[in-house]
Amino acid sequence: DAGVTQSPTHLIKTRGQQVTLRCSPKSGHDTVSWYQQALGQGPQFIFQYYEEEERQRGNFPDRFSGHQFPNYSSELNVNALLLGDSALYLCASTRGRFDTGELFFGEGSRLTVL
C-alpha cells in the first residue's frame, strides 16, 4: 500500500520562472492538501482539493494554483517565482472532507529559487 508520493523531490528554479509539483495520495484517499514549510518552521496551509475542486484556501497569493485529477492526484503550480518561495512543499491526503481525521504526508518537494 503506497503512501503519499510527491515529485520531484528536489528542484532549483530562478526568479520569475514557473514550477509544477505533483502528488499522488495514499490509496483510498480522495482529499489532498498542500502546505508550504519554510526551514525550521511549521507547515503553512496553501489549499485543499476535494472532488476536483478547491475547497479551502490559506493566505497565499493567486500565483499559487492547483488542480486535482479524477484519480485524486494533484498538482501545485507556482507562477512568477520569488526568492521567498524557497521552501519544502508538502502534500497530505485523507479520506473525505477533512475534519478531524489523520493527514498522511509525503516527503515533500524541496524548491530552491535562485
Partner 1 sequence: TQLLEQSPQFLSIQEGENLTVYCNSSSVFSSLQWYRQEPGEGPVLLVTVVTGGEVKKLKRLTFQFGDARKDSSLHITAAQPGDTGLYLCAGTASKLTFGTGTRLQVTL
**Using CB under 8 A as the criterion, which residues of the chain lie in contact with partner 1 when the complex forms?**
4, 33, 35, 40-45, 48, 56, 58-59, 90, 92, 98-100, 102-103, 105-108
Nearer to partner 1, 72 or 89 (CB): 89
Q: Which cell numbers in the block locate residue 80?
A: 512568477
- Residue 42's DSSP bridge partners are none
Query: Is the C-alpha dihedral spanning 26, 62, 12, 88 positive or negative?
Result: negative
DSSP track, 10-50 = EEEE-TT--EEEEEEPPTT--EEEEEEE-TTS--EEEEEEE
Distance CA 90, CA 62 (A): 18
Nearer to partner 1, 41 or 112 (CB): 41
Distance CA 114, CA 112 (A): 6
To partner 1, the closest distance from the beta carbon of 105 in angstroms equals 3
To partner 1, the closest distance from the beta carbon of 104 in angstroms equals 8
To partner 1, the closest distance from the beta carbon of 4 in angstroms equals 7
Nearer to partner 1, 44 or 73 (CB): 44
To partner 1, the closest distance from the beta carbon of 98 in angstroms equals 6
Nearer to partner 1, 14 or 54 (CB): 54
